[in-house]
Amino acid sequence: MIDRKLAPDFKAIDNINLIRPEYKKLDNGCNVYCFNSGDQELVRIEWVFNNLRFDPAKPLLNMAVNTMLTEGTSTLTAAQIADKIDFYGAFLQVDYAYENSQVTLYSLNKHLPHTLPVVLDILTDSVFPEKELETFKRNQQQKLQVSLQKNDVVARRDFNKAIYGNTIYGLGATFDNYKSLQRDDLLAHFKQMYQPSNCTLIIAGKIEPDTLTLIKDTFDKSWTNGSIPANVSQPDIQPAKELFYFTEKPDALQSAIRIGLPVINRNHPDFQPLQVLNTVLGGYFGSRLMANIREDKGYTYGIGSGLGSFKQGGSFFIATEVGADVCKAAINEIEKEVNLLKTELVPNEELSLVRNFMLGSLLGSLENVFSHADKFKSIYFAGLDYDYYDRYALTVKNITSAKLKELANTYFNFDQFYKVIVGKY
């Protein structure tokens, strides 16, 4: 008979092997990083650009230009672009984030001769046709109307505005922002931003020598820099003075809560230790916030905390949606859990669980060659090197409960937290 009460032996995770890229620089200044691995005959290619400096008078340009890259060039209509890509079973995505915008192509290797020229065309010759721009503006405003009915969305907007102020991180787009988009502004923005010297090309998958030659031939000679270099500096963040924001929704069944504050970013030595503290509090399913507020009290379907890291700064936040009648009670419990970290040591049992969970998570996040490229992006765009991950593993393995308590006292002052509530309070 087996003893089912007894857990099987387990091993701690020692080695985490990250695939590092090969580096090349094209003559036009574009940096190229290659991750060659995998059995499937396919690649993911990303063209990543730094966003231009945030202009409060025209706050949506970075987003609008990126989103509209697939809407037409001087030789291809939006429909033709979509047709060409879809016909070859490829996927072409545009993604806008606070600091970077990118174009991603997923393609079977055999179809690259047909799919790469489409990407070159949109990167060099997008024209943002007037009709498509009007469609974009109108549809985005309709989507905004829907989003603004969602309490969690409103809470996130209010929170970001409070802690990041008038920067790209704090922007909550308004109807007027969309209405004021002008084609000429998009074109000028496009010309300055989408040039090879402002681009990092990241290739992951099965990279044959032919593949690389094809990419180089397509994106070196035919792609040149413009006369004005990209201005990618960003204004400083000025958090708001007011800490408390409540938007009442009389019919709400649930209230969205978002609580937190600006903190250090990835480049600070306390960041990784703080990631451990965050995990204890709200960073995994078994976290203290989940254990208390979902699994013990049943106030919510989910609650979590997280750390954001940007070039200009970072943030810590706790987010949840709770029954409208238990909103105050939930906030009290959140406060209790935050303060407990400052007064009591995290027990060894719990800390060892968190250590193993975090290392397992890191290992598990390396599913395929694309994930290795993603790990690279996180450090590369923060200006860090691979020893960041070595330090991460060491920190997770060795951090003490005393250090966690010290961190909580340094960074977590609940009275100084920004608190946003949308619903009932």
List binders of other proteins among 319-378 (CB under 8 A).
321-323, 352-354, 356-357, 359-361, 363-364, 366-368, 370
Q: Does residue 132 belong to the site contacting other proteins (CB under 8 A)? A: yes
Among 22, 95, 117, 285, binds other proteins (CB under 8 A): 285
Binding other proteins (rule: CB under 8 A), the pick from 53, 56, 95, 139 is 139
13 scored as a contact of other proteins (CB under 8 A)? yes
56 touches other proteins (CB under 8 A): no
Extract the tokens encoding 337: 């859990």
Among 66, 124, 151, 275, binds other proteins (CB under 8 A): 151
Least spacing, CB of residue 416 vs other proteins, in Å: 26
At its nearest, how many Å lie between other proteins and the CB of residue 415? 28
Q: Does 88 bind other proteins (CB under 8 A)?
A: yes
Using CA atoms, how far apart are residues 80 and 71, in angstroms rounded to an integer? Answer: 9
Provide, rounded to whole angstroms, the least separation between the CB of residue 407 and other proteins: 21
- Judged by CB under 8 A, the number of residues near other proteins is 81
Burial class (CB in 10 A: 0-12, 13-18, 19+), 285: exposed
CA angle 265, 271, 272 (to 5 degrees): 140
Q: How far apart are CA 422 and CA 155, in angstroms?
A: 6
Q: Enter the tokens of residue 104.
A: 């991603």
**Residues 252 to 281 in contact with other proteins, rule: CB under 8 A:** 252-254
CA distances from 29 to 26, 158, 192, 197, 202 (A): 5, 40, 15, 5, 14
What span, in angstroms and rounded, lies between the C-alpha atoms of 388 and 304? 25
90 binds other proteins per the rule CB under 8 A: yes
Chosen residue from 56, 89, 117, 229 binding other proteins by CB under 8 A: 89
104 counts as binding other proteins under rule CB under 8 A: no
Q: Are the C-beta atoms of 312 and 271 separated by less than 8 Å?
A: no
Smallest separation (angstroms) from other proteins to the CB of 63:
16
- Asked if residue 18 binds other proteins (CB under 8 A), the reply is no
* 266: Cβ contacts below 8 Å, ≥ 6 apart: 309, 314, 378, 382, 384, 388
CB of 51 to other proteins, least distance (A): 22
The reply on whether position 5 binds other proteins by CB under 8 A is yes
- For residues 202 and 187, give the distance between their C-alpha atoms in angstroms, rounded to a whole number: 25
Window 34-53: residues binding other proteins (CB under 8 A): 38-42
State which residue, 188 or 366, has the beta carbon closest to other proteins: 366
Smallest distance, other proteins to C-beta of residue 20, A: 17
Strand 22-25 with 91-96, pairing = unpaired
Q: Does 292 contact other proteins by CB under 8 A?
A: no
Q: Site for other proteins (CB under 8 A): which residue of 142, 182, 348, 400?
A: 142
- Please report how close the Cβ of residue 203 comes to other proteins at its closest, in angstroms: 15
Taking CB under 8 A as the criterion, which residues in 169-198 touch other proteins? 172-175
- CA gap 20, 404 in Å, rounded: 31
Q: What is the DSSP string of 130-165?
A: HHHHHHHHHHHHHHHHHHTT-HHHHHHHHHHHHHH-
Contact between 106 and other proteins per CB under 8 A = yes
Asked whether position 130 contacts other proteins by CB under 8 A, the answer is: no
Decide: is 105 part of the binding site for other proteins (CB under 8 A): no
C-beta closer to other proteins: residue 106 or 411: 106
Q: Please, which residues bridge with residue 77 across strands?
A: 72
For residues 169 and 161, the answer to whether their CB atoms sit within 8 Å is no
Give the binding range for other proteins (CB under 8 A) out of 181-189, 317-325, 331-339, 374-382.
317-325
What 3-state DSSP class applies to 345?
Answer: coil
Strands (E), 62-137: 91-96, 100-108
